[in-house]
């Protein structure tokens, strides 16, 4: 069924510092395939309160929230789902008759991926980053039984706070540590950023690891992932994260859960 927007079409959107096409293509593909009267558009904004106020005022059904808005949006919504309240970071807003409820589907995606990739729970790990997405990843690790972790963050205040809240260590730099799992939750390696061609960890650190996880989704083949694959490591990509979290957002917005085959085709279409 081709989408033919009309006065009853429900609009969904995303807010990001660097809007991409994955979510737009993923959601609109599924709306068309499932015959749903929805349309999805990606936005950026320098006026976050105005943007969130517009969601409420215009009856926009849902909004995906990306860096750097995941924490700043909290004060602008009416209610936090437990998935967001527990880690004080959101990535999804659902508008029901002007009531804005926030969720964190990143957490759900990460928990699923750690399980499906069979990452041993006794793995030592280093997580680079301390922002809203880092909270989601670190919380999923903690709740998944990964107890031996290190938060690596140059921002000492944020890094210590994140580590302390979850029972992990903090260091400004990794130094001589050689953990079994490396996790990048920073913009290093992201297309369009100042560090797009850089590795989030040193080559010798990657060589010593067993699992490498990069949440950067654009590109899916970041320098870190390319290096880890060349070294024969178990890898988890940002594409996997963005696909699963987008699926859970789709369900929250529409109340419809696509089949596994429909999900697979939507991811393939979004990537093409």
Give the pLDDT confidence of 47-56 residue by residue, as tens digits: 999 999 999 9
Distance CA 92, CA 62 (A): 7
Distance CA 58, CA 56 (A): 6
Distance CA 66, CA 236 (A): 19
Q: What is the pTM of this model?
A: 0.89
pLDDT for the residue 261: 98
DSSP code string of 56-71: HHHT--EEEE-TT-TT
Which one is catalytic: 70, 233, 264, 265? 70
Q: How confident is the model at residue 17 (pLDDT cuts 50, 70, 90)?
A: confident
pLDDT in tens, 171-218: 999 999 999 999 999 999 998 889 999 999 999 999 999 999 999 998
Provide, for the chain, the percentages of residues in helix, strand and coil under a 3-state DSSP scheme, each rounded to the nearest 5: 40, 20, 40
- Backbone torsions φ then ψ of 149, nearest 5 degrees: -130, 160
pLDDT in tens, 90-135: 999 999 999 999 999 999 999 999 999 999 999 999 999 998 899 9
Strand (E) or helix (H) holding 39: strand 38-43
Q: In this predicted structure, which of 82-96, 170-184, 229-243 has the lowest mean pLDDT? A: 82-96
Is 70 one of the catalytic residues? yes
pLDDT for the residue 2: 64
pLDDT for the residue 32: 96
Q: How confident is the model at residue 67 (pLDDT cuts 50, 70, 90)?
A: confident
Distance CA 148, CA 134 (A): 16
């Amino acid at each position: 069924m081709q989408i033919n927007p009309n006065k009853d079409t429900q609009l969904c959107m995303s807010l990001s510092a660097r809007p991409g096409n994955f979510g737009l293509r993923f959601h609109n593909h599924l709306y068309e395939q499932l015959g749903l009267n929805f349309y999805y558009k990606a936005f950026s904004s320098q006026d976050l309160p105005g943007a969130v106020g517009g969601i409420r005022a215009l009856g926009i059904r849902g909004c995906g929230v990306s860096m750097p808005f995941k924490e700043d949006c909290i004060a602008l919504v009416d209610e936090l789902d437990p998935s967001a309240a527990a880690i004080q970071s959101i990535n999804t807003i659902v508008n029901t008759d002007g009531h804005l409820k926030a969720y964190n589907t990143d957490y759900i995606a990460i928990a699923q991926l750690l399980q499906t990739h069979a990452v041993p729970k006794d793995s030592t790990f280093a997580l680079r980053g301390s922002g809203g997405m880092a909270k989601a990843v670190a919380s999923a690790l903690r709740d998944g039984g990964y107890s031996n972790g290190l938060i690596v963050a140059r921002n000492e205040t944020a890094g210590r706070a994140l580590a302390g809240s979850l029972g992990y260590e903090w260091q400004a730099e990794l130094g001589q540590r050689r953990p079994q799992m490396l996790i990048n939750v920073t913009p290093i390696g992201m297309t369009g950023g100042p560090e797009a061609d850089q590795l989030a960890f040193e080559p010798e650190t990657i060589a010593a690891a067993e699992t490498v996880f990069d949440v950067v989704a654009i590109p899916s083949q970041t320098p870190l992932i390319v290096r880890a694959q060349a070294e024969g490591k178990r890898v988890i990509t940002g594409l996997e994260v963005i696909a699963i979290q987008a699926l859970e957002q789709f369900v929250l917005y529409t109340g419809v859960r696509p089949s596994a085959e429909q999900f697979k085709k939507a991811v393939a279409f979004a990537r093409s």
